[in-house]
Amino acid sequence: MILVTGGTGSLGRALVDRLLQNGDEVRVLSRKNKLRQAETFIGDITEPKGLDAAMREVQVVYHLAALVDHYASPETLHRVNVQGTVNVIEAAIRNGVGRFIHCSSVSAEPGGGTTDYGKSKIETERQLKTYLDDIPVIIIRPGPVYHEDRRNFRRFLTFCKRTGITPVLAPDVMVHLASRKNVIDAFFHARNHGTPGNAYAVCDREPIHRSTLSRIIAQETGGRLITLPLPVLLPFLHIGALLFEGMHHTFGYRPLFNRHYLKVLTRERAYDVTRTRKDLGFESACTEKDFRESVQRCLGAR
């Protein structure tokens, strides 16, 4: 039996489907939603009392449940991402689970941890490594994941299609993305090939120019590229970010963007996936091909 926490999320559903296709018996832990194709336990990782029932007869745990929110408070992120993970792995140990595979983030890669979310992932990994004498732990660090089901991705493509305009930010930077299929392959192979104690960055084969992504979107939506000069816009965007953050703290409104997001716009991102490909034994994706296919599927589903 394999338990997938967070099995009703976009990554979790895809992993459950892959495991079922392999003939595995799968159980899902979810806070409120059920999957038709797998046994589902309703529970919350922040409530340890309800976790033991979900762990019975489980050999492998895929722990994907987390709060992926760059606007959440440090206290909330710690309660869900750090303490929630501790609750899950301790329940796994109590019930004799044989392997624990954890979904972290490239935010925990060297040089990361610049946000409260990233800090929560680093602290979670630190906590997990204290349990290595009790259970084999393998950590997967996905890069920014793209797929056609992402709401913001669909909204952006809809904007580009309706307006006939695709923004391209200048100056150009390299970004290192991860196709959902690529990430699911890594999780799948980590069960048999991952080395306990190792953390694996999972991204596509090579970084790609951000302008290339914009060009693909323009080609698929039939629009034209419009260059937005970031050095000119950043001072105004910075003021906007401060206003949005103030509204968030005062009224609880979710900001359209914050200062962290502005830093991401100007940062080069590239991660070493050599060990991941070697140890886990799979070929990572080509971003240009997979990203184009994701755009096509998203536009075709509209």
In a domain, 242, yes or no: no
Task: Determine the Cα–Cα distance for residues 12 and 3; give it in Å rounded to an integer.
Answer: 11
> Which residues on adjacent β-strands are paired with residue 61?
3, 100
Q: In total, how many domains does the chain have?
A: 1
Task: Determine the Cα–Cα distance for residues 163 and 176; give it in Å rounded to an integer.
Answer: 28
Helices vs strands, H then E, count in the chain: 12, 13
pLDDT at 301: 66
In a domain, 257, yes or no: no
pTM check: above 0.85: yes
In a domain, 268, yes or no: no
Task: Determine the Cα–Cα distance for residues 300 and 10; give it in Å rounded to an integer.
Answer: 19
pLDDT at 33: 75
pLDDT at 98: 96
Task: Determine the Cα–Cα distance for residues 25 and 40; give it in Å rounded to an integer.
Answer: 12
In a domain, 116, yes or no: yes
Token reading at 297: 């599927």
Task: Determine the Cα–Cα distance for residues 228 and 49; give it in Å rounded to an integer.
Answer: 52
pLDDT at 200: 96
In a domain, 287, yes or no: no
Q: From first to last of the 302 residues of the chain, give the pLDDT tens digit.
A: 999 999 989 899 999 999 999 999 999 999 887 777 888 999 999 999 889 999 999 999 999 999 988 778 899 999 999 999 999 999 999 999 999 999 999 999 988 777 888 999 999 999 999 999 999 999 999 999 999 988 889 999 999 999 999 999 999 999 999 999 999 999 999 999 999 999 999 999 999 999 999 999 999 999 999 999 999 999 999 999 899 888 877 877 777 778 877 877 888 889 999 999 999 988 888 999 999 999 999 998 65
In a domain, 239, yes or no: no
Task: Determine the Cα–Cα distance for residues 121 and 181; give it in Å rounded to an integer.
Answer: 22
Task: Determine the Cα–Cα distance for residues 145 and 249; give it in Å rounded to an integer.
Answer: 28
Residue 64 domain boundaries: 2-142
CATH (domain of 41): 3.40.50.720
Helices (H), 95-179: 116-129, 151-163
